[in-house]
């Protein structure tokens, strides 16, 4: 690598070789708060498209007008500075309108997975102290049940059918409008208050913009206190490293309630003046058609999205031809999947690494480069530290490890959250002095490239030997019949734990468990290859597309 594109900086190779510091060059945070960055884009071109939603287009000016009106309505319900407003929404324009309205009051967006059941939603509402909920009509009954005993005093409903007129059944099915007593309708509130604007608020960089909740894989979900300064900086990183520009368009394949969606699909386009293309939820063919129709230039999504396109005969190279920048986050990219996607579509998938607590981007492959592949493990590098960011690999005593050795990845920089909501002890443990301990095991090579091996908690101990599921999964992905793979440790009376793999197969192809075991056996050390393989029609995933190993650990 001769240089790395980092905003407006051309960074010489010696920076990458500075593995003793692992710190990227500094860039300024351009705006005081996320609302300010949106207003700058609107001022540059108020008629530029901000949202494409099937046959609907909303401009930056229209977003401003509608969010003004909704902010006035929310203020009329007693919502003000610092209050938390929960969003139970899919990828719909109302997410943008609501976000800007909440920020215009100095309030905080609490994004929630609309697939949550009563108990899960109630946990978030209670912990966050949310005073209002904006939700889809289809989730209103769940919201009503979950709100009992919480501080929620206002529920605003809306529909995924609003704005657009196509009502594509592949996405919406037989969805219809349903009104609920005691709830306000979002578009009606906007019309009632159109032409008005809320009183201005003074937003500081350290004020909270988002309060997203972690997945709770190591305990109850925790609210990550993501500030306006965090959001602006992370949006700049996506704009400059991924490549977003006025006139461009980001296809929103990640859920907007996920950190990738919040930053990559909401904040970054609002900053850059690019449009965001929405399709409510992911459908492989509908998504590809929308990319083609609206000429998307960028995408950030889970690797399972790209695997789905690779394996779908209806998704052609032509449908994705407008893309200039293709990024994947949330899980490491198997090299075999990367090459299969490139062979079909001609696009290279760049890695990006980050977490809810880092407001998404922390370590990223520059758009002008391809990531190296570790010759020993076959792992694809996740990138180098982004601007103003320090990353290192440490041992169990928090001491840096030598180049090439495994340890926990630790990140510090302007994107790291303030901490966990109402959890000072957990904040002190995970983020001492602003250094976020990610819980991910990885290593760094001599050129400064970082590699993620696995989650610390996912390590398998087979007869005293350490096995990282990721390495076994990468081998399974090399088999021509394997579409998806996940590896977990299961109890074994002799070995303590043994390696079990779950796979789904590509359409029209076959492979027996015994055949897959033999495939791994000749490619992995004896203690690593899976003794048990189960073939499934599909593997369980989060809504962001990450395969759920924890569900596969449950005895079957």
pLDDT in tens, 236-264: 999 999 999 999 999 999 999 999 999 99
Cα–Cα separations (whole angstroms), residue 298 to 206, 301, 337, 361, 539: 29, 10, 19, 15, 27
pLDDT exceeds 70 at position 555: no
DSSP run (H or E) holding 230: helix 228-237
Q: Tell me how far apart the alpha carbons of residues 358 and 329 are, in angstroms, rounded to a whole number.
A: 13
Lowest mean pLDDT among 354-358, 408-412, 421-425, 541-545: 541-545
Closest to 387 (Cα-Cα) out of 118, 80, 10: 10
Q: Tell me how far apart the alpha carbons of residues 476 and 470 are, in angstroms, rounded to a whole number.
A: 10
> Residues with Cβ < 8 Å from 170, sequence gap 6 or more?
283, 285, 286
Question: Cα 321–327–332 angle (5° rounding)?
Answer: 135
**What pLDDT, on the 0 to 100 scale, is given for residue 497?**
77
Q: Tell me how far apart the alpha carbons of residues 480 and 191 are, in angstroms, rounded to a whole number.
A: 55
Domains annotated on the chain, with CATH: 5-14+26-444 (3.40.50.12780), 459-552 (3.30.300.30)
What mean pLDDT do residues 414-442 have? 94
Could you tell me whether strands 460-462 and 465-467 are parallel, antiparallel, or unpaired per DSSP bridges? antiparallel
Return the residue matching tokens 């095991």. 441
pLDDT exceeds 60 at position 553: yes
Sheet holding 49-53, edge to edge: 56-59, 49-53, 275-278, 249-251, 298-301, 325-328, 350-353, 363-364, 384-385
Over the stretch 446-455, which tens digit does the pLDDT of each residue have? 889 999 887 7
What is the percentage of the chain residues whose pLDDT exceeds 70? 92
3-state secondary structure (DSSP) of residue 1: coil
pLDDT exceeds 70 at position 300: yes
pLDDT exceeds 90 at position 1: no
What is the percentage of the chain residues whose pLDDT exceeds 90? 73
What mean pLDDT do residues 508-518 have? 92
Longest alpha-carbon distance in the chain: 72
Q: Tell me how far apart the alpha carbons of residues 383 and 439 are, in angstroms, rounded to a whole number.
A: 18
CA of residue 36 relative to chain centroid, distance = 23
What are the residue ranges of helices labelled H in 33-80? 34-44, 60-76
Which of the pair, 200 or 544, is modelled with greater confidence? 200
pLDDT exceeds 70 at position 463: no
Closest to 263 (Cα-Cα) out of 365, 383, 352: 352
Q: Tell me how far apart the alpha carbons of residues 9 and 5 are, in angstroms, rounded to a whole number.
A: 6
Over the stretch 67-77, which tens digit does the pLDDT of each residue have? 999 999 999 99
Q: Tell me how far apart the alpha carbons of residues 135 and 137 are, in angstroms, rounded to a whole number.
A: 6
Q: What band does 464 get if pLDDT is binned at 50, 70 and 90? A: low
Taking the model in full, what pTM does it have?
Answer: 0.84
3-state secondary structure (DSSP) of residue 156: strand
Instruction: Round the average pLDDT of the chain to a whole number and report it.
Output: 90
DSSP character string of 328-369 = E-SSPPPHHHHHHHHHHH--PPEEEE--GGGTS-SEE--TT-
């Amino acid at each position: 690598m001769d240089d790395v594109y980092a905003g407006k900086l051309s960074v010489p190779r010696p920076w990458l070789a500075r593995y003793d510091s692992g710190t990227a060059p500094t860039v300024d945070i351009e705006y005081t708060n996320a609302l300010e960055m949106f207003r700058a884009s609107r001022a540059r071109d108020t008629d530029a498209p901000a949202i494409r939603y099937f046959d609907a287009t909303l401009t930056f000016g229209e977003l401003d007008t509608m969010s003004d009106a909704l902010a006035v309505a929310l203020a009329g319900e007693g919502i003000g500075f610092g209050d938390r407003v929960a969003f139970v929404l899919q990828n719909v324009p109302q997410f943008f309108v609501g976000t800007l309205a909440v920020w215009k009051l100095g309030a905080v967006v609490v994004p929630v997975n609309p697939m949550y059941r009563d108990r899960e939603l109630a946990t978030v509402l209670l912990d966050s102290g949310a005073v209002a909920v904006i939700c889809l009509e289809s989730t209103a009954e769940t919201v009503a049940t979950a709100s009992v005993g919480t501080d929620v005093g206002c529920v605003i409903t809306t529909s995924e059918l609003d704005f657009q007129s196509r009502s594509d059944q592949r996405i919406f099915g037989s969805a219809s409008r349903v009104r609920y007593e005691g709830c306000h309708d979002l578009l009606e509130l906007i019309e009632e208050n159109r032409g008005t604007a809320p009183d201005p608020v003074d937003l500081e960089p350290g004020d909270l913009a988002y309060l997203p909740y972690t997945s709770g894989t190591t305990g109850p979900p925790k609210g990550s206190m993501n500030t306006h300064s965090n959001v602006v900086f992370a949006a700049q990183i996506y704009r400059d490293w991924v490549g977003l520009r006025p006139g461009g368009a980001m296809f929103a394949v990640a859920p907007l309630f996920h950190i990738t969606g919040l930053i990559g699909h909401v904040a970054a386009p609002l900053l850059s003046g690019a449009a965001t293309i929405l399709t409510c939820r992911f459908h492989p063919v509908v998504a590809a058609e929308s990319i083609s129709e609206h000429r998307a230039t960028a995408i950030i999504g889970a690797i399972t999205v790209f695997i789905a396109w690779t394996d779908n005969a209806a998704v052609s190279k032509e449908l994705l031809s407008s893309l200039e920048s293709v990024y994947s986050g949330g899980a490491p990219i198997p090299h075999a999947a990367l090459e299969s996607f490139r062979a079909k579509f001609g696009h290279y998938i760049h890695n990006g690494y980050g977490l809810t607590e880092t407001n998404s981007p922390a370590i990223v492959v520059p758009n002008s480069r391809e990531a190296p592949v570790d010759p020993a493990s076959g792992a694809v590098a996740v990138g180098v530290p982004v601007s103003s960011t320090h990353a290192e690999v440490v041992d169990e005593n928090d001491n840096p490890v030598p180049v090439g050795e495994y340890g926990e990845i630790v990140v510090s920089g302007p994107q790291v959250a303030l901490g966990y909501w109402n959890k000072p002890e957990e904040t002190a443990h995970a983020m001492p002095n602003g250094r976020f301990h990610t819980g991910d095991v990885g290593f760094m090579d001599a050129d400064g490239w970082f590699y993620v091996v696995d989650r610390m908690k996912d390590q398998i101990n087979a007869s005293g030997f350490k096995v990282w599921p990721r390495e076994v999964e990468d081998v399974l992905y090399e088999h021509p019949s394997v579409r998806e793979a996940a590896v977990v440790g299961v109890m074994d009376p002799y070995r303590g734990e043994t390696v079990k793999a779950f796979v789904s197969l590509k359409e029209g192809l076959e492979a027996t468990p015994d055949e897959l075991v033999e495939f791994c056996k000749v490619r992995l050390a004896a203690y690593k290859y899976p003794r048990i393989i189960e073939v499934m029609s599909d593997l369980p995933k989060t809504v962001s597309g990450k395969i759920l190993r924890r569900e596969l650990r449950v005895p079957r």
